């Protein structure tokens, strides 16, 4: 089972556009660099894995303003920026697992985990169970990574992250 880069990008674009009014712009398909913010959502169901959304920190104030409708004259608090990227990752994750699994299965999504990744290639997981999509936004590149566990994943949690807690978002 594998999601294509195009499928992942399509879901991410729809979420970014609908929730944050962030639209894709023509741009280079280069690695996401600079100061970054990443939200990771683990999921568990018929298969397990994790979805992460990485954005340049410079993008976040505009996204938060768009998402929450707060005034543009102030830089949104750090917590709002973290919550906003977490919500975006959560919604992308919830949508992409249904693209993969079809309409019937129910998945449990864990609360988003936020961190500040280093912009080095080594921090990006690779392999046949990993799909990356990059989206060029006006203020910088966004990267979405879907990590699917091997078949026995349901009982062992994801490779990099703990299994989601029940009753999570």
Contact residues for another protein (CB under 8 A)? 14-15, 18-19, 67-69, 80, 83-84, 86-87, 90-91, 93-95, 98, 103-109, 167-169
Q: Token pair of 15, please? A: 């979420």
Q: Which is nearer to another protein, 120 or 167 (CB)?
A: 167
CB 98 within 8 A of CB 104: no
DSSP state letter for 167: T
| Alpha-carbon gap, residue 112 to 153, rounded angstroms | 19
Q: What are phi and psi of 17, to 5 degrees?
A: -70, -45
Give min distance, CB of 34 to another protein, in A.
24
Q: CA quadruple 130, 131, 137, 140: dihedral positive or negative? A: positive
Nearer to another protein, 57 or 169 (CB): 169
Identify each DSSP E strand in 17-125 by its residue range. Answer: 36-44, 49-56, 108-109, 113-115
Q: Shortest Cβ distance from residue 16 to another protein (Å)?
A: 9
Rounded to the nearest whole angstrom, what is the least distance from the CB of residue 96 to another protein in the complex? Answer: 10
Nearer to another protein, 56 or 112 (CB): 112
Quote the least distance from Cβ 109 to another protein, whole Å: 7
For another protein, which is the closer residue by CB, 114 or 124?
Answer: 114
């Amino acid at each position: 089972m594998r999601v294509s880069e195009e499928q992942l990008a399509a879901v991410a674009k729809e979420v970014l556009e609908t929730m944050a009014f962030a639209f894709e712009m023509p741009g280079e398909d280069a690695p996401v660099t600079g100061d970054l913010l990443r939200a990771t959502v683990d999921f568990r169901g018929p298969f397990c894995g994790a979805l992460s959304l990485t954005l340049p920190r410079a993008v976040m104030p505009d996204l938060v303003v768009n998402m929450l409708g707060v005034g543009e004259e102030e830089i949104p608090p750090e917590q709002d920026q973290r919550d906003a990227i977490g919500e975006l990752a959560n919604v992308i994750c919830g949508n992409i697992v249904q693209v993969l699994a079809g309409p019937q299965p129910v998945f449990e999504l864990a609360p988003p985990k936020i961190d500040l990744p280093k912009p080095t290639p080594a921090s990006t997981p690779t392999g046949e169970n990993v799909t990356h999509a990059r989206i060029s936004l006006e203020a910088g590149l966004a990267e979405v990574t879907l990590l699917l566990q091997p078949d026995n994943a349901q009982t062992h949690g994801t490779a990099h992250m703990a299994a989601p807690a029940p009753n999570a978002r």
